[in-house]
Amino acid sequence: MTYSETRLPQNLLERVMKSIHDEQMRQKAIWSFAIASVVGATASVSLVYICSAFMHELFASGFMQYFSLVFIDLKEVLVNWRDFGMSLLESFPALAGAELIAGVVVLMISIKFIIAYAKKMSPVHRLKIASNI
């Protein structure tokens, strides 16, 4: 049998191109997973410092003293609930609270991407791709 007599399987080009594309997507998922992991680790470490700064600001601003009045003298709080609410709002460290929320959001988004890219890299996902060929 010579070279000209050999038959190539049908759809060989499509299958080869699909496997090349799938490998490129897997490589992209690996890099994206690595980047999301670094961002997640950085967000986790920074969240420790953000929480510490937030707690420091809560105690320094007097918010905790005002809030403890709810447990000490509830009747006075209920009688003067508007003034009490305004005092709580004025003493709340808004900038530190915004930093805390931003840190938590970044951590949650990075966890979402880590899970998504881990699914794309998993052997189960690759089996699904191979079964479609």
Q: Where are the domains of the chain?
A: 34-132
Read off the pLDDT of residues 39-88 as tens digits, 9 standing for 90 and up. 999 999 999 999 999 999 999 999 999 999 999 989 999 999 999 999 99
Q: Does residue 88 or residue 126 have the better pLDDT?
A: 88
DSSP state of 1: -
Place of tokens 């918010």: 63
**pLDDT above 90 coverage of the chain, percent:** 58
pLDDT given at position 128 = 58
pLDDT given at position 124 = 66
Report the C-alpha gap between 62 and 73 in whole angstroms: 17
